[in-house]
Structures are given as structure tokens and as C-alpha cells.
Amino acid sequence: MFLQIKEKIEDQIVNDQLLEGEQVPSTTQLSSFYKINHITVLKGINLLVESGLIFKKRGVGMFVAEGAKEQLLRTRKNAFADDYVVPMVQEADKLGLSTEDLFEIITQVKERDAHES
């Protein structure tokens, strides 16, 4: 559950719901909102502090660090490439698909999804 708290706050940073320099909800607020133990929330928060995405001001609260969004986007892009693009390219190679074929397939999927939205 603490990983879900971490990911929820990361998503809020990426989606500009929490901006750099803004105060993050307190562990009390988060534990009350999600109806979970504050220790669980604290574990998630501490992971964010350790990664440099948020920082604590003693007696004031926790805040989104400068560069947090950029750091998250970079990390997520790398993970996306490793988790999805590399296996896709490997499978495309097995099927004899060219780079142009891949671009065409991706374009078709994006267009289809845009029409369905």
C-alpha cells in the first residue's frame, strides 16, 4: 500500500496537480483520506524523500523538490523504453518488421485510440 501512496504522489507531480515548491499533504491528511495507518503513509513518503522528489521542512511540512517532475519523467521514459519498447522492437525484429512498419503500426493504434476516446 505504501508503494501506491508513493505512486499516487508521483502521478500528481507528473500531472501538475502538485507543482514544484508546493506543499504535499501531511501524513495525517493522507492516512485519513486513504483510511490507512500513518506508518504506511510514512513509508511511501520516505521513499519520495530518499529519491529527492520531496523534502521536509522541520515544523512546516513536506514540499515538492525543484526538478522533481523532470526527474520523474526521465525515470518513467527510461522504464517505458525498457519495459515496452525494447520487447516490442525485439518482437518486430523476429517478425521482420522495419522501423517504418513499426511507425505505421504505432500511428494506426494512436489514431484508433484517439477516435475511441
* pLDDT tens digits, one per residue of 53-95: 999 999 999 999 999 999 999 999 999 999 999 999 999 999 9
Q: Which amino acid is at 95?
A: L
What's the confidence (pLDDT) of residue 117? 72
How many domains is the chain built from?
2
Taking the model in full, what pTM does it have? 0.81
9/53 Cα distance (integer angstroms): 10
Range of the domain at 83: 69-116
Instruction: Identify the DSSP state of 15.
Output: T
My answer on whether 7 and 62 are in the same domain is: yes
17/2 Cα distance (integer angstroms): 20
My answer on whether 40 and 73 are in the same domain is: no
Indicate the average pLDDT of the chain: 95
